[in-house]
Structure 1
């Protein structure tokens, strides 16, 4: 029965696609799509309460299995909670062209992500992993008429696919060791096999969750619509790697290098992503760098041995990042550009100021918002390993405050100077703003995590403990957050005073993500594209040549068959016809004579008999006496013959 949880959104998207593609009402599309996602939330809740599980036999060695753990149950709840406002916003905000296709893909992606979360074996995970990559390519390249968007979608797809090869390595090692792909037996692998398995899983997780050196694919992903960016960055695509490692961390904790590598790469990504976001002049790219940075903090928590902290930060990050992308989408549409300098010149609705401010302050990690509690949890988790690691995480948190303030002030510092831009392709404002209000309320409700009773009960429910927040860590962290907020404000005022002057070389280097996108384009996308072209040429010259030769031979053989077939097919009916005519002529002659003789012969015989009988009628008595004597003689002879034959004499 649990298979209903991942399959329901996918099946519903297929069934409702025609309605979404043809409905003239944005509101009808929005409510129906959100209703599907809310039903998914209800299914997940009911399934866990009822103890549902799902197992399908692939063959005698492999099974597809899904199930709940406390961690996966919470993650499975987060996905529809965040996705429902996003699909509602998408129906109200995005361009009407191919809107039904976009909504269907967004809703279907919810089901794919649920399969990644609930998978209890590597085979189920691989299936969902591949589908997620395909869905992301379709969503990023939604406006496929633009060649640049198509190239960006391919770049994001190929870069993540390069890392996905690690998951195949992990599956191969697991099957070789255990004879199956279930998570349950992964802790029984030999040390060497466990190390290879951990390496494959780690690379796959780094690529999906945009960690160095895979981070720049997020810039390419910004070619998708704002709602696509919100879903991919908040609750689906980018979350896949973290969700996977959260589940496998207890099984891989004994691999000596596993934790240090996660923390090292996570910290490097958090710092690099923070610098990129702080320097970026593009609103969505700023948020993309922020996503990479915060997922880096989640990897730090997992590497330090606290996957539950990573899970909660994932949940709070999803709630705060989705509305920020929506605000960026509205602002970019009004300004006709995602450039922060251009956005700063248009007036945006005042109601968005407070909504965006709540999410931005949560992104900055300011007390008493819930995201600040989870960020401090990462600081404390790193401090358990080494105090200096906690300080580095605090610096990453300070950078979060810089780019959060820069985003907020760039959008609203001069919001009263001009009127909003054109909004002809969007639905009513309340339909676009309503989802943001819902998410802002959820972000504020996360503040209850600071209550000791709440986080104690939450830890008991998740069967895990949280690292204690030390006073000095909290104080230093909050000071860095406040300094970061001020630094972000100063950056915006300076940029506005310079009138959007060209970026300096240093900031341009950071804003281009250390030129990693160009490296990815040169060393991943271009080689794959060149190889594809060579294979296409080989296909044309070799494979197609064989096919064409076979086709020509088949045509020649067919022509020969046609000619010989015509001769044979004509000979048979002609011979049959001649035989039939001869038979008809013969039968005509014979049957005609026979048909004439049958009635004529009896008539002639009867005529002859009549003539002879008539001769006996002479009228003379001696003729009659002679006949009588002859008859008596015949009778006597017949009687004697019978007596002799019967042996009486």
Structure 2
């Protein structure tokens, strides 16, 4: 079944490349090709999950690109493929254009995600991480003509890529430590290299999962189309940060410090971003903050070794959050707004869509017997075993989840106002105020499927029933939720929801802009970096000017040396010429005649006597 493993990566990659390169010529067939490729990818994912194949391909080293399907992969691979198919069906019905570019990028992004899930070696993981980051930037900025999209894509790309440097540091440390490329061997690194690897993995996972202090990039990413948000922030990009920490959980635990650090950061994110979600008045911003908060439970699970609970949370959150984002996209298209005041009572206008949203929101709230109630409690059971303080923090995050979910339900299922009731009763329907009447049937199909999944996938975490799942991912030793723990979390959720319906939610002014996390990043990182760059640029200019000045000085020195060289040359030439002339004169005296020599001797003698007489 190696073919199925290669197909789950190769099919979306090939279809995506074809659509991007030949999109202008096959624009009319782009949606059909995309959905076909996604459907075949789902078939290949299910086949690979059942057969559990493995393959090693040459990349950097003879077996550098290792791919395999194990228990964790067998759960997540079909989940990713199924969500991708449903999102692409929704996007096709919604009619995003240009279709070829959108679907090509989505499929290429899917290939990167499936490669991430199946990678068992550092080269394969790094390659998929790179492609995932690049395509996510292109998808967030898909509507590049709009003023806000490209800066949003740049912020998301810069923040996640900065955190990704941790993965490169971990890879470098692994190579130096001599443990090769295999992910399974990283926990065996010796001495300080293990801590470098753990720190790098933790940094990369926190950045991709939008955990504190990186959470703000998720707010900016909401500028992308709703299907992009539904995929990137449910089963794909953000989930891959949590998956990385679950996959390399042995590294975190072996370091001694990275596990507790991850657990507390996850718990803090669930609380802080839960408060942010409560304060939002924009539906997509609320869903974005809740995504980071919900992934906080996955990071918490990775930090305490609760692989089963973390995996169940990933799957349940993928179905729930994809559903909620897609419904937000339906309402944004119909009403033209994602502000909660404009969406008041919208669930009553489209009952079927509103019902699916209600199921997703109730699951997100942690109400029994829906999936996130069971998955979250599986994590909380492990947290209670690890630390009562951590358990209390997790319960607080769960209570906040119930609060922001209740806020959404209260708004979208609010009773219409008197004027609106009169309009509806008398058959008057102002599309500018109430939106269009109809939702395409093809749009509702993915919503219904995801709503069913949001209800049922919690079976993975049912105490006493989830044993095959725990065995598959080798997590039999993890503590299970007791009946009292399940009842306690359910009671807390019900109390919080009741309180929200009666009193509303408090408004935290500081939380409205995500506690100024982006401003803090600009103050702590961006502005000092730019100032450092300016200082270095000035230093470079001064150094360049000094080099140019020294060059000009050398030119003048060279010109002076050239003049001196010419003068010396002329002097030496004159001496040479005079010497040659004297030589000629000396040769003339050498006639060989004895009379001439006597005459010369007589002249010299006379001259000597004359000189003697004069001197004396």
Give the TM-score band, short-chain normalised. 0.7 to 0.9
Whether 2:450 is the aligned partner of 1:439: answer: yes
Tell me how many residue pairs correspond in the alignment.
530
For 1:79, the equivalent position in structure 2 comes to 80
Deviations 1:550-602 (A, max 9, x none): xxxxxxxxxxxxxxxxxxxxxxxxxxxxxxxxxxxxxxxxxxxxxxxxxxxxx
Aligned to 2:240: 240
**In the alignment, which residue of structure 1 is the partner of 2:128?**
128
- CA drift of 1:425 comes to 11
Instruction: Give the C-alpha shift of residue 242 in structure 1.
Output: 1.2
**Larger C-alpha radius of gyration, 1 or 2?**
1
Matches within 5 A, 1:402-417: 402-414=403-415, 417=420
Partners in 2 of 1:377 and 1:103 — Cα distance? 36
Distance in 1, matches of 2:395 and 2:161, equals 32
Alignment partner, residue 166 of structure 2: 166
CA distance in 1, matches of 2:31, 2:291: 26
The Cα shift of 1:518 comes to 2.1
> Which residue does 1:355 correspond to in 2?
356
Paired residue secondary structure (1:454)? coil
RMSD: 3.1
What is residue 477 of structure 1 aligned with on the other side? 489
Cα deviations across residues 460-505 of structure 1 (Å, max 9, x unaligned)? 232222422123322321121012212332465x8xxxxxxxxx9x
Partners of 2:59 and 2:485 in 1: how far apart? 51
Instruction: State how 1:188-207 maps to structure 2 within 5 Å.
Output: 188-207=188-207
C-alpha contact 1:331 1:348 (8 A) present in aligned 2: no
Partners in 1 of 2:188 and 2:27 — Cα distance? 57
In structure 2, C-alpha distance between the alignment counterparts of 1:216 and 1:479, rounded to whole Å: 32
1:222 paired residue number: 222
- TM (norm. structure 2) is 0.79
Say if 2:475 is the partner of 1:464.
yes
1:308 maps to 308
> Following the alignment from structure 1 to structure 2, what is the Cα–Cα distance between the partners of residues 324 and 173?
41
Secondary structure of the 1:287 match is helix
Question: Quick check: 2:45–2:81 contact (8 Å CA) kept in 1?
Answer: no
The CA deviation at 1:61 is 7.2
Q: State the shift of 1:62 in Å.
A: 6.5
C-alpha change, 1:282 and 1:406, in structure 2 (3 Å) is: same
In the TM superposition, 1:69-468 aligns within 5 A as 69-96=70-97, 98-178=98-178, 180-344=180-344, 348-414=349-415, 417=420, 419=429, 421=431, 429-449=440-460, 452=463, 454-465=465-476, 466-468=478-480
**Stretch of structure 1 that moved more, 70-79 or 468-477:** 468-477
2:27 is aligned with 1:15: no
Give the secondary-structure state (helix, strand or coil) at the position aligned to 2:82.
Answer: helix
Distance (whole Å) between structure 1 residues aligned to residue 100 and residue 333 of structure 2: 20
Does structure 1 retain, via aligned residues, the 8 Å contact 2:373–2:490? no
Gaps of 5+ in 2: 424-428, 549-616
- SS across alignment from 2:466: helix
Report how far residue 60 of structure 1 moved.
4.7
How far off its partner does 1:101 sit? Answer: 1.1
Q: C-alpha deviations, 1:113-142, integer Å up to 9, x for none?
A: 011111111111111111111111101111
> What residue in structure 2 maps to residue 555 of structure 1?
none
Using the alignment, how far apart are the partners of 1:450 and 1:155 within structure 2?
Answer: 36
Distance 1:181 1:338, change over 3 A: same
Sort the Cα spacing of 1:440 and 1:533 in 2 relative to 1 into closer, same or farther, 3 A: farther
Alignment match, 1:552? none
Indicate conservation of the 8 Å contact 2:208/2:237, yes or no: yes
- TM-score normalized with structure 1 length: 0.76
Rounded Cα–Cα distance in structure 2 between residues aligned with 1:169 and 1:510 = 33
CA, structure 1 residues 52+475, in 2 after alignment: closer, same or farther (shift >3 Å)? closer
Deviation for aligned residue 1:100: 2.3
